[in-house]
Structure formats: C-alpha cells, structure tokens
Amino acid sequence: MTDQNPLVVFTPSGKRGRFPVGTPILTAARQLGVDLDSVCGGRGICSKCQITPGVGEFPKHGVTVAADALSEWNAVEERYDQKRGLKPGRRLGCQATVQSDVVIDVPPESQVHKQVVRKAASARAIVMDPATRLFFVEVDEPDMHTPTGDFERLERALREQWEVDGLRADLTLLTKLQKALRKGDWKVTVALHRDHQASKSTIIDIWPGLHEAGLYGLAIDLGSTTVAAHLTDLETGEVKASSGIMNPQIRFGEDLMSRVSYAMMNPGGEVEMTRAVREALNTLAEEIAKEAGIDAALIVETVFVCNPVMHHLLLGIDPVELGQAPFALATSESLSLGARELELTAINPRAQVYVLPCIAGHVGADAAAVALSEEPGKSEDLALIVDVGTNAEILLGDKTRVLACSSPTGPAFEGAQISSGQRAAPGAIEAIRIDPETKEPRFRVIGCEKWSDEDGFWDETAATGITGICGSGIIEAVAEMRIAGLLDPKGLIGSAAQTGTDRCVPEGRTHAYLIHDASAEGGPRITVTQGDIRAIQLAKSALYAGARLLMDERGVEKVDRVVLAGAFGAHISPLHAMVLGMIPDVPLDKVTSAGNAAGTGARIALCNVGARKEIERVVREITKVETAIEPKFQEHFVNANAIPHATDPFPELGKITTLPDVSFNTGGDDGAEGGRRRRRRRA
Ligand code: FES
C-alpha cells in the first residue's frame, strides 16, 4: 500500500483522511471539516492555526508517525517564532505540509468553536460561534482599465477567499474603507457580522493589515433595579470584566408598574426613562471597557435580556399597553438592530444589538434567557425554575412541554419595604439562626465569614457595623421565627408572654422580634416587624401562586425539582425558602441554585449565533400563562399567605423539621390563652 497517499488523523475529533504529499494541514482540516481556526486564510500571519503534531506509535489510530512526517520548519514559521514565539512542539497548520502518515492534535485555543465551560453548578459548555468574526483578506489593487470600486473588489475578495455572500456596509464604513485598504497595502482585516435570520453579512469594522486586538461583546441583563454587564472576548468566550450599575429609572418608580404609571401620568415620561437608561448603558460600557483595559470601539456586539417593560423602555416604545389587559407587546419577536438606533454611542458605531424574544406581555426576554440557559424543555423530570426578583419569572416544564408566567413579588425579597431592610452589602445580615429553646439569634453578615457567637466576629465587623438585613437574611429570619415558634402559621408574631422571650417586643398594636440592638452606641436597632412579615408573605404568596398556576395548567400536584435562579436566588437557603412556603414541597436536595441564569442566557446568545435561533424556536413553543387575569391566581395567593401554606401539605418539609403548632391570634387580649384556645379548636 505504499502508493497510497499519507493518512492524516486529527485529534481530539478523530477525523481522518488521506491527502497527497505537500497538502497543508489547514487544507486537510478544512476538507475533513476539522475545527481549525484561521483569520488570515493560510497566509502565515494570524497564528490562529497552531497545531501539535505527534511522533511515534499511535496504536489507537493504527499509525506510526515518523519524525519527518511534516515538512520542515519554514521561513514563515521561523519569522513568527522569532517575533512572537511559538510554544514548543507547535507548528502553523497553514505552513506545515503532509509528508507521511501523521497524527495532528488541534489544541483548544486553535478551535473556532471552542467550548467555554460555565462556572454555574449545572455547568453547560457554551460552544463559541459568535455572529461577528474577523476575516483577513487581500484585495486587488484598482486598475484604470477595468474600473471597479474599492468596496466591490473587497466584496469579490471576501467571496473568493472566504465564501462570504450578501455583503453590506454602511456609509460610515465606506468613509474608512479607502484609507484602510491603502494603509494596509491592500491587505485588511474586516469584522463581519452574520445575521442569523437573513443571509447577509455586514462589515462592522475594517483595519489595515492584520487586526490583532480582538473583538468583544457585551451581554447585558437589564433589570428594573440593576443593570449587569459581562464584557466577553468574542474569540475565546472569556469574560474580561463584569460590572453593574443601578437602573437610573428607579427615580421614576421603584417597580415596573410604577414606571408604567409614570409614563401614563406624565406626557413624555417614557422618553425621559428611555434617555436615562440609554445614558446609563453608555456609562456602563465605558466603565467596563476601561476596567478590562480594552478600547470600547472593539465592542462590536451587544445582547440584551430584560423584562417587557424594560424592553420597551430600552427600545423607546411607550410601555403603557403593558400596564393594562390584554398586555400587548409592541413586538414579542427577537430584534436585531444597530447600536446607533439605541443611541449606544460608547461602543463601536456600527456594533450590532440582539434583543432576545419576549415570551408574553408579562414574561420577558429575561425569562427567555433563563429558558436558554436552564433548558427546561430538555429536562427528563419536571423542573420548576424560579428567577426571583422584583418580578418573579417562573418556568415549569420537561421534555414534553414548558409553561411560563411571571408574578409580581415586589421588592421585599431584595430587602426593600422591610423596616431594617437593605441591599446586599457589607454589614447586612445575610444568614440567621434562632435557638428554638432560648429564642436567641445568632447571625452572619456580608463581609465576615464568622457567626455572631464566634470569637472575633465583633472585631471583624467593627468597621462595617451591623447595618440591616438583606433579602436572603429576611427570608431566613422569618423562616427561623416560624421554626422557633415566634411566628404562627398566619404570620403573627407572638408577644413576650406568648413566646417566652423578651426579644419579642411591642410595636404599636403588634410585636416585633429584636435581632440586634446597637442603639446605645448610636447604631441601628434591627428588628423584624409585623409589617415586614406581611411584606414577605405577600411576596412569597405571589411567587407560590404563580408556580401553582403553572402546575394547575400542567395538571400536576407536585414537581420533581426546583431551580432558584437570579443573583438573589443563589443566596437563598432551600430549607428556609420551603419553611416559608416560597416554593413547592420537594426533597431538599432537589432544590438547586442556577446563579444569574438570565445573564448566562445573554452570554450564550452573545457567544453562539445558533443559540439565537434556538431560543426563538423555544419561545414560540412555550405556553404562556397570564397571572393577572386568572381567577385561580387569587385563590392560590390567599392560600399561600399562611406559613408555609394553608391547604397544601408539605410532606418533604415535614420529614426534616416539625413546625410548632402555635397561634397568636388573640383578638386583642393577652394571647397565651388565645393560643391554647386556637389549638384546641383545630384538634
Ligand atoms: Fe493564519 Fe496559519 S492560518 S497563520
């Protein structure tokens, strides 16, 4: 068989084929469909095509590789090695040619579609396939005898060298074109954006010669309270910097409906809110680019996920229709726009924006992003995914069907509308335990690993002090009060006489539980008041009722697992969430946290253009359930007001904890009697 062409085996793909002696490895890779990167098209200048040839015996592949299986190190590689340095054992795939049987390893950094593993627990790899990529081209020089425009010759070069068709460029690009071509001696790099819906490619930017400073994108989770952005390298998928700012629209209203009201009551109010958020986005883009040390003009793509009201206000659409039934969106489809249309002036002027589709008038692109990231439609078991925020986005589904709704939980879970509430910041109580015997609390604050009853706690927290309770802290506090018998199922806090602790102090006609009192030193007095309990009850009832509504629609009484998503969801203790009755009863080990799933979904759509098609398909198939007009929602809401629940059994919770059977509903008198009376009636 000596007359056969040499065999080339690629790892890790295992793809193999025979090629004539002298075939460049890059050419062999392309013919076999092996994922080997190249920006310069084999000209030996981009170094993206690096490979590692093996030598010796490869029994697995049935190949023996000779030391001279590839052509000798050539002048191009020599020059590249001297200028930049090639790692030992590496060759340039476009320069090394096949001489005899060979095994070639393609290292991860040379793969176009490299996988980037997410950090979240349910680590799902993102396959890199961004919409915008770099292409190096050599363009013919102009010729007086066959006159053509520079753009037309660039178009031809891209078609011939990279098989790019349907090329477009806007006027601002044309104004740069001629200088770039001449400065680069007719060799240029272009950043091309492929539209995943139409077969067109748009030139986003052009640079003389080989552009080596990379391309970047922003994945933005535009929330009602905060705006979070991840600056991502579009070649490697690496997050270069993450940053967040407060949504300046807060000054027009804390929650979504108050912003819709602001637009209704104030002519031009929506324009003001649009302007505010766009300004904030420009500030955020500038800051994040600065933090990462990159030129903001290299940000060529931005992906947005947001709830419907934020979606409309970002786009400059009046959100008033979203404030009233039938909650019609201007469009629920995904949007591909130019950054200029959104006045995003801090990034590349020709940058492209992709906004994920909305699911319904109350269920936005943020929920779509959670669906993209958590993939309930691929789940074998029935998963309930809850993205906890000012509005809770809820998804319920498995392989057969996915349903979605949103529920107005309000800002209580974020520490707002809570008497001692505050945002998650150093000094905020984030975890708390109450001794069921002594009723004494111990707690942990953000910024210190120790519990308050451990040595060194007070020294370590002296700088920040104990300033308040954040969202996860208030959930734990209320649940612990219920476990310790300080709070009855209806949500009433007992008096000192009823509970046997002086920490239950009178507060008007009700009671409050005192966690920490620094008032003697001029510090805060941190309590959980009856009003706080009510605010948490309203929020958790809305969340649970939304989940129940989806379960009704699906015809089930229980779910197999619960995923808590959202930055806040990551910090909620599953046990306490269940004691509170925020989530349906499941075994505790079936409650997991997905971190900022909406932000991850945005990053997936930024890094992989195919994911955009995927989520557009998935969203079309999701069953939308509208909570606001569903009479059953009210019934579920009322029943969910009790802690954990008035009617639904919580058998899994019962296996791990027994909640005291107390009642503090005294009808105004002292209460201890009332508690006993109540218990007798129930028995
Ligand atoms: Fe660019 Fe080989 S393909 S250096």
CA of residue 93 to ligand 1 center, whole Å: 7
Tens of pLDDT, residue by residue over 316-357, are: 999 999 988 888 999 999 999 999 999 999 999 999 999 999
User: How many Å lie between the centroid of ligand 1 and the Cα of residue 41?
Assistant: 6
Cis bond before residue 108 (omega within 30° of 0) = no
Q: How far is the CA of 235 from the centre of ligand 1 (A)?
A: 15
Pocket test for ligand 1, best of 36, 48, 79 (most atoms within 8 A of CB): 48
What one-character DSSP code corresponds to residue 356?
Answer: P
* Gap from CA of 37 to ligand 1 centroid (Å): 8
Q: Which atom of ligand 1 is nearest to the CA of 46?
A: 1
CATH 3.10.20.880 fits 132-208, yes or no: yes
**For the ranges 38-42, 211-215, 563-567, 591-595, the one whose mean pLDDT is highest:** 211-215
69-107, pLDDT tens digit by residue?
999 999 999 988 888 888 889 999 999 999 999 999 999
Tokens read off for 57: 């015996």
The model's pLDDT over 134-193, given as tens digits with 9 standing for 90+, comes to 999 999 999 988 889 999 999 999 999 999 988 999 999 999 999 999 999 999 999 999
Question: Exposed/middle/buried for 245, CB within 10 Å: 0-12, 13-18, 19+?
Answer: middle
Q: According to the model, what pLDDT value does residue 3 have?
A: 65
CA triplet 143, 146, 149: central angle to 5 degrees?
70
Q: Are 500 and 439 in contact (CB under 8 A)?
A: yes
Of the chain, the percentage scoring pLDDT greater than 90 comes to 69
**Per-residue pLDDT, 679:** 36
Topology classification of domain 7-110: Ubiquitin-like (UB roll) (3.10.20)
Cα 250 from chain centroid (whole Å): 22
Q: What pLDDT, on a 0 to 100 scale, did the predictor assign at position 551?
A: 96
In this predicted model, what pLDDT tens digit does every residue of 293-305 receive, in sequence order? 999 999 999 999 9
CA–CA distance, 518 with 172 (Å, rounded to integer): 62
CA atoms within 13 A on the CB side of 668: 0
Query: SS3 for 246-289, per residue?
Result: ECHHHHHCCCHHHHHHHHHHCCCHHHHHHHHHHHHHHHHHHHHH
Which pLDDT score is estimated for 450? 94
- The full set of domain ranges for the chain reads 7-110, 132-208, 374-408+541-654, 412-454+461-535
Per-residue pLDDT of 513-526, as tens digits, reads 999 999 888 888 99
Cα–Cα distance for residue pair 263/252, rounded to 1 Å: 9
Question: What is the residue with the minimal CA distance to atom 1 of ligand 1?
Answer: 46
Ligand 1 pocket test target in 30, 36, 51, 94 with most atoms within 8 Å of CB = 94
Whether residue 675 has pLDDT greater than 50: no
Question: For all residues of the chain together, what is the average pLDDT?
Answer: 90
Ligand 1 center to 47 CA (angstroms):
5
Q: Which helix (H) or strand (E) holds 548?
A: helix 530-554
Tell me if the bond preceding 107 is cis, omega within 30° of 0: no
Q: How far is the CA of 304 from the centre of ligand 1 (A)?
A: 34
Structure confidence by residue, pLDDT tens digits, 252-280: 887 788 889 999 989 999 999 999 999 99
- Check residue 344 and give its pLDDT: 97
Q: Mind giving me the DSSP string for 568-635?
A: TGGG--HHHHHHHTSS----GGGEEEEESHHHHHHHHHHHBHHHHHHHHHHHHHSEE--STT-HHHHH
What residues flank ligand 1, with Cβ below 6 Å? 26, 38, 40, 42-49, 92-94
User: In angstroms, what is the span from residue 39 Cα to ligand 1's centroid?
Assistant: 7
Q: Whose CA is nearest to atom 3 of ligand 1?
A: 42
Q: Looking at the CA of residue 94, tell me the nearest atom of ligand 1.
A: 2
**H helices present in 428-505, as ranges:** 457-460, 471-483, 496-499
Which of 524, 528, 532, 529 shows the shortest CA–CA distance to 464? 524
Q: What is the pLDDT of residue 313?
A: 96
Ligand 1 pocket check: which of 30, 34, 35, 45 to mutate, most ligand atoms within 8 Å of Cβ? 45
From 34, 35, 43, the mutation candidate for ligand 1 (largest count of ligand atoms within 8 A of CB) is: 43
Tell me how far apart the alpha carbons of residues 272 and 475 are, in angstroms, rounded to a whole number.
35
| pLDDT for 453 beyond 80 | yes
- Compute, in angstroms, the gap from residue 77 CA to the centroid of ligand 1: 10
Q: Which two tokens stand for residue 247?
A: 């949504």
The reply to whether domains 7-110 and 132-208 share a CATH topology is yes
Encode pLDDT of 476-505 as tens digits. Answer: 999 999 999 999 999 999 999 999 999 999
Distance 198 CA to ligand 1 centre (A): 29
